[in-house]
Amino acid sequence: MFFVMGFGNKDELLKEVSFRCTNCINEKFELYQMSNVFSFFFIPIFRFNKKFLIVCKNCKSIYRLKNESLEKVLETSNVTYDDVEEIIRNNNVCKNCGHRVDETDKFCPNCGNKL
Ligand SMILES: [Zn+2]
Ligand SMILES: [Zn+2]
């Protein structure tokens, strides 16, 4: 007999929220709960390092919420700059149309604008 133990990442989509993206013109975001799960026989036993992230639906920029802001955000579905702890990822977007572009792109794949 042997035991199976492990650590895993688990993401849960909590709800849609609104926040003015610092990177593009979008205001529609998704709020995720991410936690590292310690599992035993594939049963999550306890969670630690709980983090709440909001992800821009357009450019996929990621911001981390302050834990103390969570209750308010769940209630109002509204995130302000004061609720953001840090910017985790800021993706590049086209200045012309707001479409997401890669750092290596020379032209926007959506509108052809020179970057
Ligand atoms: Zn965005
Ligand atoms: Zn564009």
The answer on pLDDT for 1 being more than 50 is no
- Quick one: pLDDT at residue 9? 62
CA 107/CA 58 separation, integer angstroms: 18
What is the tens place of the pLDDT at every residue in 11-49? 789 999 999 998 888 999 999 998 776 666 666 666 666
- Quick one: pLDDT at residue 48? 60
Measured in Å, residue 102 CA sits from the centre of ligand 2 at 12
CA 33/CA 14 separation, integer angstroms: 7
Q: Specify which residues 54 forms β-bridges with.
A: 31, 63
Q: Which two tokens stand for residue 96?
A: 């012309």
Measured in Å, residue 107 CA sits from the centre of ligand 2 at 8
Mean pLDDT score, 53-64: 92
Half-sphere exposure of 74 (CA within 13 A, CB side): 11
- For the chain, the average pLDDT equals 85
- Quick one: pLDDT at residue 57? 93
CA 30/CA 15 separation, integer angstroms: 6
